[in-house]
Amino acid sequence: MRPGFRFSHFGMFVHDIAKMEDFYTRLLEFTVTDRGQLSGPTGPMDLVFLSRDPDEHHQIVLITGRPETLGFNPINQISLKTETLGTLRDMLHTLQREGLPGITPVTHGNAVSIYVPDPEGNRLELYVDLPWYVSQPLRLPVDLAPDDATLMAQLEAHARSLPGFRPRAEWRAEMARRMGLD
């Protein structure tokens, strides 16, 4: 990792803080670490601090005051990484049981992702890295139903046919060199 700074958390303005808190705590298992109120440019703002890591006071801050109308959602995506296909598949089933719209499992060749909007339309990416790299961008639908061994074999066979395929360790070593960290 580069010395100096590392990503820690982000905050987002919301319309319905209770609905957003429920989504992030109940489905994604964030814990409320604090809550309170601050004065803002248009009056009081409620804040809810959320984390999944006991070493981080907050990873997400929900803040009231999102404007009712925006030309588009300025949040492209919020990405949460997991370590196993099983965890990703379990979350897919959880999201499907909730009946959420727009659930989209995809492969990026070097990762498998589930895209789903939160209650206010912010796109979440829940993903697991694969042990190889392929050139980006790439986004293709994927079926997460097969067992891990079958799915990994399918994903690897597909990835090997794509430009830039190589072990993730090779790609990482190149990036470390390019970042001056080798």
Tens-digit pLDDT profile for residues 20-61: 999 999 999 999 999 999 998 888 999 999 999 999 999 999
Confidence at 70, pLDDT banded by 50, 70, 90: confident
Percent of the chain with pLDDT over 70: 97
pTM of the model: 0.84
Q: Which residues pair with 166 in a beta bridge?
A: 133
Amino acid at 114: I
Query: Can 1-66 and 77-182 be said to share one CATH topology?
Result: yes
Classify each residue of 133-172 as buried b or exposed e, where b means 16 or more C-beta atoms within 10 Å of its C-beta: bbeeebeeebebeeeeeebeeebeebbeebeebeeeeebe
Residue entry with tokens 């492209």 = 76
What residue spans define the domains of the chain? 1-66, 77-182
Q: 10 Å Cβ neighbour count for 39? A: 8
Alpha-carbon distance of 146 to 165, in angstroms, equals 23
Percent of the chain with pLDDT over 90: 80
pLDDT of 122 strictly over 70: yes
Q: When comparing pLDDT for 130 and 181, which is higher?
A: 130
Instruction: For 77-182, give the CATH class.
Output: alpha beta
Q: What CATH number was assigned to the domain covering residues 1-66? A: 3.10.180.10
Q: 109, 158 in Cβ contact below 8 A?
A: yes
